[in-house]
Amino acid sequence: MVLAKELHFGRAADRLHLAQPGLSQQIKVFEKECAVKLFERNSHGVTLTEAGRVLLEEGESILGQVERTLARVRASGDGRAGTLRIVLTRSVAFGLPDTVVNEFSQRYPGVQVTRDVAWTTRNVDMLRAGDVDAAFVRLPLPGKSDIEILTLGETEAVVACPADHPLAAKHRIERSDLIGETLISWPRTQAPGYFDEMQKEIFGGEPPNSIIWEPDPEHVMAAVDRNRGVAVVDSERASKLRSDGVVIRRFAPPIPRFGFGVAWHPKREEPVLAAFLQVCRELRSSPGNH
């Protein structure tokens, strides 16, 4: 392409930082590969053959496509392009996880991010099946030997009770206040480690006498609104789902807090995932995230 534009071996060799004999030899090899003569050489210089003029016209777009392809390849190799599949966990679908995903999308606009929302057990299953690249989970996470986990922060547990319930009159809830109360809860199978730690932290050796099971936080809060019992829920989730008929009360110290993090399969850590995990590491250390 350079020789076709310069039509002079000396000037073309200078632009290409080649010796003129080396350039002449490369052109001969290229003409042999093309099986056609591209240049006419004479005492007056170099001219293009008809085949050479066709290659000049086509070559511009070919080289442009090569450069664009290489740019995409390099962007994919350093995490600036590609696809990232994420699944959030319902109890912390907003807050820090949402901040992390939005920050990553702003930093890497060339990456297509897809989001889903489920629960910890389902998220881990999706991760192991290769359906997602990263999964937000509640901690602790039993049986995690085949996946990596980065702890991101904690959420505070609060009590949601009907507005006319005796606990609504209290400023702070003691653990002992929940003895004998009907508890409304999501199923343990959704996050066994998190469920067991919450039960131990709040109820100790005295589990609730009666539990009403609901499939998710939305149904839990709706059941509280219908005066079916009280619930221990994450403060942020409770504030978003609270209706006028539900009162949220904090626990008396020590405040119960429970962890969450992001999990991934170490054998599938591609550049895009590595870039996402770096954003997670940066934001988890920011003040106020815990």
Q: Which domains does the chain have, with CATH numbers?
A: 2-77 (1.10.10.10), 82-152+260-284 (3.40.190.10), 155-258 (3.40.190.10)
What is the rounded end-to-end Cα distance, in angstroms, of the chain?
59
Residue 142 neighbours by CB under 8 Å, 6+ apart: 192, 193
Q: For residues 9 and 173, what is the distance between their CA atoms, to the nearest angstrom? A: 88
Per-residue confidence band for 255, with pLDDT thresholds at 50, 70 and 90: very high
Q: Which two tokens stand for residue 227?
A: 């005066």
Asked if the peptide bond before residue 140 counts as cis, ω within 30 degrees of 0, the response is yes
Q: For residues 236 and 41, what is the distance between their CA atoms, to the nearest angstrom? A: 78
Per-residue confidence band for 251, with pLDDT thresholds at 50, 70 and 90: very high
pLDDT at 289 over 80: no
- Kindly state the average pLDDT of the residues 233-253: 93
Q: Which residue has better confidence, 8 or 45?
A: 8
**Predicted pLDDT of residue 73:** 62
Per-residue confidence band for 43, with pLDDT thresholds at 50, 70 and 90: confident
Q: For residues 125 and 47, what is the distance between their CA atoms, to the nearest angstrom? A: 66
pLDDT tens by residue, 131-189? 999 999 999 998 778 899 999 999 999 999 999 999 999 999 999 999 999 999 999 99
pLDDT tens by residue, 82-135? 899 999 998 887 889 999 999 999 999 999 999 999 999 999 999 999 999 999
Q: Give the global pTM.
A: 0.71
**Predicted pLDDT of residue 253:** 96
Q: Which two tokens stand for residue 153?
A: 């922060």
User: What is the average pLDDT score of the chain?
Assistant: 89
